Structures are given as structure tokens and as C-alpha cells.
Amino acid sequence: MFDVSCLAILRKWTVLPVTTARSVGRLLIAHRPSSSSSSSLASDQMVRVLNVAEKNDAAKSLADIMSRGRYNKREGLSRFNKIYEFPFSIFNQNCQMTMTSVSGHLLNYEFVGHYKKWYGCNPVALFDAPVEKKCLQDYTDIMRTLEREARGCEILIIWTDCDREGENIGFEVIGVCTTVKPLLKVYRARFSEITPQAVTRALNNLGMADRNVSDAVDVRQELDLRIGAAFTRFQTLRLKQVFPDVLADQLISYGSCQFPTLGFVVERYKQVQAFVPEPFWKIRVLHECDGEEVEFNWKRQRLFDYMACLVLYEHCIENPIATVVDVVSKPKSKWRPVALDTVELEKLASRKLKINAKETMKIAEKLYTQGFISYPRTETNMFPKEFDLRTLVGHQTQDQNWGGFAAALLERGPTPRNGNKTDQAHPPIHPTKYTDQLQGNERRIYEFVVRHFLACCSQDAQGHETIVEIDINEERFSISGLMIIARNYLDVYPYDKWNAKVIPTFNKGDTFQPKCIEMSQSETSPPSLLTEADLIALMEKHGIGTDATHADHIETIKSRLYVGVRDDGKFVPGELGMGLVEGYDAMGYEMSKPNLRAELEQDLKRISEGQKNKDIVLVEQIQKYKQVFIEASRQASKLDQALSQFFGDAQQVTGIDCQPGHSNPLCACPSCGLDMIIKAKRDGTGLFLSCMGFPDCRCSVWFPASVLEAVVDDSLCDMCTGRALHRVKFKFKPGSVPPFIPNEYLSCIGGCDPSLNEALGIAFPSRSANASFAGSHGRNSDSGLGSSLSAEMSRDSESTSTVTTQNGPGTSQGRNSSTRSVVHNSVTRNGPGMLATGNAQMRENTSLQNAVRPLGAHNGNNTVVCHCGQDAKLLTVRKEGPNTGRQFYACTKPVDSKCNFFLWADSTDTSGNDGGLAGSLSSVAPRNSFVQSQHLPFPANNSGNNDIRCACGNEAKLKTVQKDGPNKGRQFYSCAKPYNQGQCSFFQWADGHTGPSNPASASNRNEDSNFGRGFGFGNGQAGNGGGGSEHGRGSGYGRGSWKKPSAGGSDATPKKKRKCGLCGEEGHTKNKCPHK
């Protein structure tokens, strides 16, 4: 096989340098194989070359030219994009050419995960949301065709249009093909028309695809997506609620180009409406000579002062004799049209042919792909000096209408009138070959291009102008006449009018009596409304869009009903368009003005020229529009007020964006890095924390049903270092959380508030734990318990003593019964005949010797050591309360792996004694946290509770109620174990009373004086509720299924076996009774 590696740079997207391409270009079309040699070209020695055009029509025309009509057509995976194959000679080698196409852009930017959904996030998040460039759903077959064909080819030639969009499409094709074949050699063919000469030039000048030009398109596409999606969602979702009767089904889109375009229409309309006519006066002189009446124009034109004009008029009629003071004769020319570019084509087709710009460009694209005209999207209006105009003019000599003019033009030679613009890519629009087979508007557009081209290459129209000036009592008047000498280009260009004007013959010094001298009154007239041609001219002047997108933007504002078009072709704004512009203008941001978009277009041009980095432009523009959006959201009521003038009273809505389900991001996902937000379940029964990357990322945390509301606060947690984590405003069901956590609570779930995490049954992971985190949260979990268990498993990996909790035969297992639970310094087994975890009130407890140092022990340097055997960290309570400013020791490890060690700093003894330690544990931990102590391996020194033991047989722990209510500040005893390590349901008030500390409060509640509450926390499955005293009621705070325990507190009564309703025997029910 022919080795072309020396002709290309080996990299991911390998392309041929321009200098190298030109040096080998002379060998590109050495010969085309004849049909007799076609069979030999199918040998294994032939190089396979993949050619990709932008559209199927272009691919067919290119294949027809390169193969001289002898190509084989076969179907691709897309029925709209055929494959044309033919032998060819390139690089002095026999090649098998495969020509196919795409259908415009193959890839498109879109948001990932939940950001795609209208209610998936707050619109402001779209400015920073991740985007990806993916294949459009309808174009997957085209992409598969390219991948299949690229695998069997060694060379790729890009034949897309030579403009910004075409360059970007080319890089999309390169990316798809080089993904399946990285060492594919890539060339770029540049051409402006599909003719044999242009194709030959392109193959002789294969070069490098321009990355800068493609980058400019990527920036524009991403910005259009972010800006358009954010404002469109904001407008649509808000105004649907504000004006439900009018805009309920209306898509209210926004675009950084379409809004300035709308602004032009609104501005002109308001100028017309606000116009106040002003009267003016002028003097007219009429004279009749040889039966013809002519009018002389006043040199002052007009006066807005009636008295001043009246004085001058009376002065003239005092001596009404006119004297000819000057007669000037001079040649006059009417210039032929400049070479045709895209903007002029759109404007002239709209004015002269009454075909709108969208339809004009659609027809021009079709004529181009058929090879009748050159590329219609060009900014160039000047022909290069070496351009072969004679051949192009010669093609038109055979036409019956303009063939004679073309032949005369060939005799004297074409001399085009050039403008001063060039894009260095394409020549002006011109015909490439003759045809008389077109019909309808296609024929009209083709005829206009031909006539414009011939007129441009012709001569200016020539005439002779005579100007006569007269004097009437020192007031000057003048008249002009025109005599056409040579029509020239006007003979072929009927779209311009130049008429002769005959006036009598006057000689200098002649005098005459005018037929009439009069003073007439008139008034100023308002500016005319914009036509489509006027609108395109304004867009070009202010840099809104490009020549290729003007028609699309105009069509968009028409389809959205922002503007309407009258019968005379004038644009008028609709009520919705007028209201939007006035609303945004009232905010102080003139979004309907062209300034913002014009700056972007200039930056895109600099990117294309390599003068500016695309990433810098992207960041600058995103931040600029983001600030505008934030301010617009804040002042959204002004938008309502502006539209209420047209749609009636606005409905009152709450919030800035008025969009349900939106939440500020809580933090970055530890698994994929996207935002995590709090969302409601589909059935509305609970809340959960979800990654915006769903379904690709399934990282989530499920809150228990006790959480009624959870709103992400704007404030960041100052204790969670290393990551930005917002605090959350929780609202709990009354009685569903321990007494020292208020029903409305602002805190962080990152682990700095262990009591909250324990109450919710979650453990927020760090990045190092995202594997277990992501896999531990399924939709079958109601309270995030899986995350708590996985965190405990990772946390216990450093303990010197680990045992498992097993469910033996005959036990009733919970949902996660297969989970292996690792517990510190204790073992719990459910054997035969025992109740399952979550319902059991009695457990068999086996104490193990603790191999680690005692709680709060000191090392040789008098440093406090935690359970992990490492130096504890000294922290300070920041939350307002009785312990604000108090210092304590805690484990230094991350929250997902730290132990439960806690110790007040003022309770330690540098000698190594732990006097008062247990007493210190009864105080309130930082941020209202649970005291995370464990079963102590030594006797607790807690005065006042030496004789009080919990249901486990261990010393109970003294705690204090922090929750607002009748028992706030009251102390109570409970089990010292953590809730997920076998904590029993023991509860007892420290003051000996079983009711509230305020007797009046108790009587008001009509409760028994022996009332008590038990706060049971399950060990990983379901919660254990228990009675606080002999006659108390049990309240379970476990996560999962909950059953009301017996009144006996921890002494649960075994469940009775069911009996048959027919025979009364145990072991079966009446449905399965053998005696039926």
C-alpha cells in the first residue's frame, strides 16, 4: 500500500501543511484512469480516500465532476446521504475515492444530566453547567456511516463549505473519523464553486483545516446555548404563571442576536408613534414654456417660521421678474452595481423581487449545490485581478434575453466595479454556468444573479445634466434637466430606473415672468417603518449576526410572534415583543441594543484570526451575561409590569424565578464533580440529594420522611474545609428528632454536625469514599441508611477489634439484612428465637477486651489521643448556646473515616487522669451534636448516676435537652452507646420526675404524671422505640419500619402465634385449614 506518512504530521488530527500540500499538488491530478483500466484499480494496491461534503447535493456534484459522470452509487446507513465511489489518481497513485456527506452540523452542544430538563435546575446555573458536544439523535446513522467508511480508508479529504460553519463541520467530521482511526491523514479542500476548474484548484492546493475558525464557532455555539437556554427558561416559566390566560402555551425564547433584531423594529416603531409633525413653509415658482410647465425649487428649501417665509414671499411678488443668472451643463453618470455579496443579495431580493431573505438564501444554496452559481455566503464584493471573467460571461451569450448584451460585453472586455470588502475565502456571488431549465423563484433568483453579474462587468450609464438658476428680487431658485446619452448597464439591469427629464432651453441673462409664485404649507412626515432590507442593513451596520445568519434571526422573531409584517412589507412589533423590550429596558440593561452582541462578534473575529484565546472570550462573555441575568431575575417584576399593559393584570407569584423544583447547588458531587441539589421524589413523599449528572452519575443521598423541608442556604459551612459546602435549612416533623435538635434547623450535612447526620441516618462522603457512597444509595432506601452503613464500614477499617452482626435462623430480616455491619468493641448476634434488628428490645451483649487506649488517654507527650490511636484535634464550639467558645477534642480524620471520640478540653488532666470525663460527655457537643461516646472500657466517673444503668447493664449517660419546649435545659439519662452500635431504648429523667419540668405545661397537655419518652436509634435497619418509664409511651426515632413497643420499655413481649379461625389450632390460617 502507498505510504503517505511523509506527507502528513502524525498527531491525533493529522493534517497536511500548506507548503507541503502545494509542493505535491502538481501530482494530484496526473491522470484520470480510463474506463478500460477501471478493473485494475480495484486491486489491493489502491489507496482508499474518504471525501466528505457538507450536503448530499454537493457530494453528488463533486463526484460527478471528479469521475466525469462514471461513479457508482450505493446506500449509506442514512437514506438521505448516499455514497459515491469511483477510481481516481491522486498523489501519483491509483486511488479508490469514496464521496459521502453530512447534513450540516453533525454534533451539537447540549447540557448534561438534569440540566437538560426545564425544571432540572435554576436557570442561572446554566451559565456554569457542564456541556458536551454530542451527535444529534437524527444524525447517528450519518456518524455510523463515517465511522464505517473511515476504518477502511487511509486519507480523509474535507469538502465542506469554506466559511466558519463549514470549518467547524469539517472538524466534527475529523473528530468522528480519527476516533476510530487515529492515524488517518486529513486534508482540507478549499473551493468557492463546484466547477471542474474550482475542484482542480482545490485538489492542487490541499491544506490544513483552520482550528481558529472552528474554535470561534464552538464559542458562539456554547454561548448561544447557555444564554438562550437561561433566559428562555426564565421568561417562559415565569410569564406562564404571571399571565396564564395568554401565555400558557407560548415559548418565549431569547437569543443574543434575535433580541437586538427585535429591538431595531421596536425602536423604529416607537419613533413613528412618538413623532409629532411640524409645519413648514416654502416658496414655489411655476413657469410655462412651449406648452410645458416646470417648477423651480427654492434654494432655501423650507422655513419653519411662517412670518419669515411670508416676508420673503411678499418681497418676491413685489418684483416678480425672473432673471437667469447661471446655466451649468455637465456629464452625469449612474453607477453600475458593485459585485454581489450575501447581504446585498438578501436586500435586493427583498426590495426588487419581493422574496424574503430566508427563502432567498435557501434557493441560493440549492443553486450553488447544483453548480449554477458560486458559494452564496460571502462577505467579498471585489473580484481578484486574476479572476477569469471572460469565460463566465461567455457562458451567458446563448440566452435569448441577455445573450446579445453578454456578447457585446465580451467584445469590449468585462470591467467589474469592485467594492472594498473581502473575506479572503470566496469571490463575489456570480453564475458558474448557464441554464434555462429553472422554474419559479429559482429562475428569478438565478436571473437576478446573472443580470447583476453582467451589469457589474459593464459600464456606467452616461447622461448630460443641465442646471438653470434664476433670481427673483434676490431670492434664488433652480431647476435641473437630464438627457441620457448611453444606457450601458441599464440595458441588462431592469431593477434600476434612470429617466430623462426635459426642460426648456434657457440662456444666461434671459428674463421672464413666472406663471405663478406661491407660498405653500406642509408638514414633516415620520420615518417609515422598517422593511426587511432596512433591517438587514441595520444588522450589518451594528454587527448583529453574520451574513449567513441574518435571515435566520429575522425568521425567528417572526415565528415567535415578536413582530409582524404588514401587507406592504413593513415590520411592526407584536404585543409580546414590545412588552419584553420595554421590560428589559426598564431594568437598566438595554438588552435590545446591539452593544453586547456586537462585542461578541468582534471577539469571534479575533479568535478566527488567532488574535484572541477562545477560553478567555468564553469566560468573559459568560460572566457578562450571567450578571445581566442575575439582575434581570432580581427585577423581574418590571417585566411583569411592562407586559401587563398588553395582557391585563399580572398574577402574583413568589420567588425570583417562580420555578418549582429549583434548588441552589449544595456542593460538587464527590463522584463526578457536577452540582448536587436537593430534589423532591416524584410521588412527593420525601426529599433526596441528587447529582445533576443523573442518569450517568447515580450518586445520591435519601433523607428520611421526617424531613418536611430542606432548602440550601446561601451561606457556606466554615467548618468543612477543602470543599465548598452550603448549609441546609431543615424543617422536621414535630417529635421526629431528638429533643436537642429544633424542628427548624440550619446546619451542615458534611459531617461537622454529627448529631444531624445521625438523626438523618446519613454520612456525607469525601472524594476518597465516593465508590462506596455512590453504590450505597438505592431508590429502595427511605432514609439514606445505606450511606451510613458504608461509611461505618470504611470508618471501622482502622479498629483493632471488629466483629459482624448476623441474623440467625428464625429472625425477621430488614431490607438490608445482607449488609455486613462492622461495630466497634462490641458484638451483637441475633440467634434462634430472637427478634430481628429494628424490633428487638433485648440483645445478647458480649464485652470484648479493648485493645486500644482508653477514651481520652494521653501519650507520653501529654497529648490527647483518640480511639484511632492518633493525636486528637483541638476545636472550638462556634454555635450560639451555653457552650459557645468552649474547646473540645475530636478525631482528626475525615468524616467518613473518623472515630466517635469527643472530649471537652477543660475536662482533661495533663497527668493522664480522666476525672470528670464522663460528666463532660453529658454536656452539649458542638453544633447541637449527639455525644458520640462509646461503651467505655473503664468505670465512668459521673457523680449522681453511679447506680443508674441502662437496659444493656452499663452505666447510663447524662444528657441535657437543648430543644425549645417545656423540658429545655432538663437533664436525662440514656444508653451511652451510639445509636448504630446497639444502643438500647433506656430513658429516665435525672430529676426523678417523669413529666415536664413545668407542671402547668403538663396539665395543659392532659398528660399523666408518669409520662416518659424513649428515644431509640436502630443499629442499621429499623429504629427501636422504647418507653422511658414503667408507664411511659414509647417514641421510636429509628430509620425504617417502626413498631410501637410494649409499655414495659425494653422488656418486649414475644409475639403470639396466630390461630386458625375455623378449627382454633395454631400453625395455619382459615384459608389453608385442612378441616374445610
Contact 45, 94 (CB under 8 A): yes
- pLDDT digit string, tens, across residues 729-751: 999 888 888 877 888 888 888 88
- Using alpha carbons only, how large is the chain's radius of gyration in Å? 43
Backbone angles phi, psi at 890, to 5 degrees: -145, 165
In angstroms, the CA 121 to CA 407 distance is 67
Higher pLDDT, residue 709 or 1072: 709
How far apart CA 555 and CA 571 sit, in angstroms, is 12
Using pLDDT thresholds of 50, 70 and 90, give the confidence band for residue 652: confident
pLDDT band, very low/low/confident/very high, at 979 (cuts 50, 70, 90): low
- Rounded Cα gap, residues 145 and 919, in angstroms: 76
Average pLDDT (1034-1040) is 37
Is residue 375 part of the annotated active site? The answer reads yes
Cβ within 8 Å of residue 388, ≥6 positions away: 197
The strand order across the sheet containing 707-716 reads 707-716, 726-732, 744-747
CA gap 839, 910 in Å, rounded: 44
Provide the 3-class DSSP secondary structure of residue 908: coil
672, 647 Cβ separation under 8 angstroms = no
Q: What are phi and psi of 512, to 5 degrees?
A: -160, 160
Predicted pLDDT at 493: 95
Residue recorded with cell 452550603: 726
- For residue 52, pLDDT over 70 is answered with yes
Q: Which residue has the higher pLDDT, 653 or 832?
A: 653
**Which of 553, 578, 638 has the alpha carbon at shortest distance from 263?**
578
Average pLDDT, the chain: 76
Is residue 235's pLDDT more than 60? yes
Residue 91's SS3 state is coil
- 799 contacts: CB under 8 Å, gap ≥ 6: 822, 824, 825, 852, 867, 899
Q: Could you count the other beta carbons within 10 Å of the beta carbon of residue 953? A: 9
- 285 - beta bridge partners? 296, 517
Nine cell digits for residue 950: 441502662
pLDDT tens figures, 397-430: 999 999 999 999 999 899 999 988 887 778 899 9
DSSP assignment string, 44-107 = TTPEEEEEEESSHHHHHHHHHHHHTT--EEE--SSTTS-EEEEEEEETTEEEEEEEEE--S-SE
Q: Check residues 757 and 475 and name the one with the higher pLDDT.
A: 475
Q: How many CB atoms lie within 10 A of CB 638?
A: 17
Amino acid at the residue 636: A
Q: Phi and psi (nearest 5°) for 491?
A: -70, -25
Average pLDDT over residues 130-147: 92
Instruction: Average the pLDDT over each of 36-40, 531-535, 686-690, 829-833 and give the range with the smallest value.
Output: 829-833
Distance from first CA to last CA of the chain, Å, rounded?
88
Residues 6+ apart with CB under 8 A from 381: 338, 339, 340, 341, 344, 418, 419, 420, 421, 422, 428
Q: Is the pLDDT of residue 501 over 70?
A: yes
pLDDT at 872: 81
Indicate which residue of 254, 313, 375, 979 is catalytic: 375
H-helix segments, 414-499 = 440-456
Nine cell digits for residue 384: 481578484
CA separation for the pair 384, 182 (Å, rounded): 39
E-assigned strand segments in 622-702? 667-668, 675-680, 687-691, 700-702
8-state DSSP, 431: B
pLDDT band of residue 521 (cuts 50, 70, 90) is: very high
Predicted confidence band of residue 212 (pLDDT cuts 50, 70, 90): very high
Closest CA to 15 of 143, 181, 156, 147: 156
Lowest average pLDDT, out of 167-171, 490-494, 895-899, goes to: 895-899
Question: Which of 539-553, 574-588, 1044-1058 is most confident?
Answer: 574-588
Q: Could you tell me the pLDDT band of residue 992, with boundaries at 50, 70 and 90?
A: low
Residues 6+ apart with CB under 8 A from 11: none
H-type alpha helices, 293-380: 306-318, 342-348, 357-369
- Cis peptide, bond prior to residue 695, ω within 30 of zero: yes
Which residues, listed in sequence order, are joined to residue 989 by a DSSP beta bridge?
972
What number is the average pLDDT over the span 329-334? 93
Mean pLDDT calculated for residue range 335-348 = 93
Which of 66-80, 547-561, 882-896 shows the lowest per-residue confidence on average (mean pLDDT)?
Answer: 882-896
Distances (CA, A) of 725 to 688, 852, 876: 16, 34, 20
